[in-house]
């Protein structure tokens, strides 16, 4: 999978995209992250990519000409491929969820546009942006950090990047939170590991983990349970256990 990232500050991506899983995924050829400095498409000697807004007001606005040229240049890098989604990272966008991460992971390429300052010229939004995504109901100084979050969440779902078994029961993978994890020592500061995990009984371990996912979701994110119920992700055994905890659909 290819991520083409358009940004005014490419140096911000050093570190997050060059360490850990993303580094290994790139080395293995599973994903490619290409950074494009929007200023490279500016038309003046100062490489100006922003200007004062029409109508007055505080802040600056990203200019249409270099921004559009950068997007079109990125799209042209794969002329034989289907048109890639052009995603603006924006607080106005669709909330970023695990379901959306799975949907985006099916694409062979994503073009990510990092807004900055007061935003970008609306005409570029209308002409070239196909999707807008928000990572939360708050405002950042720019779209770079949001783009890093999206890359990390989507890349780990690409085949081969992470073992599929590690993903299947993660938080939000099926509408529930993940179960607790433990490792050695078996007792730490007088806190023992739950005995069932030491029993060697795989069926009982699986049941305990499922019940802990339900218990944790009810305690921490009860808003997720109705969605899981409507989506058919709760079994009759799940519903019986939740009823014991006081939750009914």
Establish whether 38 is an annotated binding residue. no
Under a CB-based contact definition with an 8 Å cutoff, are residues 13 and 148 in contact? yes
How far CA 238 is from CA of 187, 215, 234, in Å, comes to 30, 10, 6
CB atoms within 10 A of CB 244: 10
The single residue listed with the structure tokens 């505080």 is 58
Establish whether 232 is an annotated binding residue. no
Establish whether 136 is an annotated binding residue. yes
How far CA 130 is from CA of 110, 144, 207, in Å, comes to 11, 18, 43
Spatial distance between the Cα atoms of 101 and 99, rounded to a whole number of angstroms? 5
Residues 6+ apart with CB under 8 A from 91: 134, 137, 138, 139, 140
| Omega cis (within 30) before 109 | no
Establish whether 31 is an annotated binding residue. no
Establish whether 139 is an annotated binding residue. yes
Establish whether 55 is an annotated binding residue. no
Under a CB-based contact definition with an 8 Å cutoff, are residues 93 and 130 in contact? no
Establish whether 149 is an annotated binding residue. no
Token duo for residue 244:
């014991």
Under a CB-based contact definition with an 8 Å cutoff, are residues 147 and 112 in contact? yes
- Binding site, by residue number, is 115, 135-140
- Binding site for S-adenosyl-L-methionine, by residue number, is 115, 135-140
């Amino acid at each position: 999978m290819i991520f083409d990232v358009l940004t005014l500050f490419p140096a911000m991506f050093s570190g997050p995209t060059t360490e850990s899983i993303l580094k290994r995924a790139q080395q293995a050829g599973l994903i490619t992250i290409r950074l494009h400095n929007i200023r490279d498409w500016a038309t003046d000697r100062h490489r100006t990519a922003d200007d004062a807004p029409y109508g007055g007001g505080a802040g600056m606005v990203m200019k249409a000409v270099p921004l559009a040229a950068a997007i079109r240049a990125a799209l042209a890098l794969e002329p034989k491929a289907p048109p890639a989604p052009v995603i603006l990272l924006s607080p106005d966008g669709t909330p970023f969820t695990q379901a959306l991460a799975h949907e985006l992971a099916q694409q062979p390429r994503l073009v990510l546009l990092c807004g900055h300052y007061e935003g970008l010229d609306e005409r570029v939004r209308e002409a070239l942006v196909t999707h807008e995504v928000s990572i939360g109901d708050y405002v950042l100084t720019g779209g770079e950090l949001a783009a890093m979050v999206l890359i990390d969440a989507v890349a780990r779902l690409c085949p081969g990047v992470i073992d599929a078994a590690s993903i299947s029961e993660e938080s939000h993978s099926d509408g529930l939170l993940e179960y607790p994890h433990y490792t050695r020592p078996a007792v730490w500061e007088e806190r023992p590991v739950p005995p069932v995990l030491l029993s060697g009984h795989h069926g009982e371990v699986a049941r305990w983990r499922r019940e802990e996912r339900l218990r944790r979701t009810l305690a921490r994110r009860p808003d997720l349970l109705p969605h899981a119920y409507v989506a058919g992700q709760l079994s009759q055994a799940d519903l019986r256990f939740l009823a014991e905890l006081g939750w009914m659909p």
